[in-house]
Amino acid sequence: MERCAVAGIGTGVGKTLVSALLVERLGASYWKPIQAGGLVHTDTEEVRRLVTLSRARFLPEAYSLKAAMAPHAAAAQEGVTLRREELRLPEVEGPLVVEPAGGVLVPVADGLLNIDLLKYWNLPVVVVSSYYLGSINHTLLTVEALKSRDLALAGIVFNGERNDHSRGVILRETGLKCLLDLPNLRQPVSPGHVKAYAARIEL
């Protein structure tokens, strides 16, 4: 797996952190196609801060939107039309990690969901799960949606204090490989943390 997209089961599950881990592990370029909100410190800047590899590359966003909303809502507020053709994969050599804005069924524009972009890019998908009440349901729904589009699934990263029951159910029901068990890391996460845990990813 040299190229992949990172899909979270919900908000705040650690999608950007896992993207940084994959960039570190693969020596990849990183691309956040749409940044919605957080323009003072973007996800691209956060990944750049966390990654230690000098060969990693950080590509400019196709769209930067001010409001911390779903992309279609943020774009509507600013009078911007998000177009699929502007979100085609960048031409880069070597590994690439792509982090969409929001969950897989988040709308990007009328008739265009994140899952449609994932199909358009046709990259293996790394699913980021966590342990909270409802996370089993959210993970299984996310995986089912991805499988319904015949997308290749590279595996799951679990983020947070481990719950063996939830973990076991998710792995059994999805049939996916666990790429990494990532514990709650002390904030702010350091590049040293990223380097250490990136080495543990089972590709």
Q: How far apart are CA 44 and CA 97, in angstroms?
A: 11
Q: How far apart are CA 23 and CA 138, in angstroms?
A: 25
Beta strands per DSSP E along the chain? 3-8, 29-31, 34-36, 57-58, 63-65, 96-98, 107-109, 112-113, 125-130, 153-159, 178-182
Annotated catalytic residue, options 15, 32, 119, 195: 32
Distance (Å) of CA 72 to CA 109, 140, 190: 5, 25, 33
Is 32 noted as a catalytic residue in this protein? Answer: yes
- Three-class DSSP category at 118: helix
Establish whether the linkage from the previous residue to 60 is cis, with ω within 30° of 0: no
Catalytic residue numbers read 32
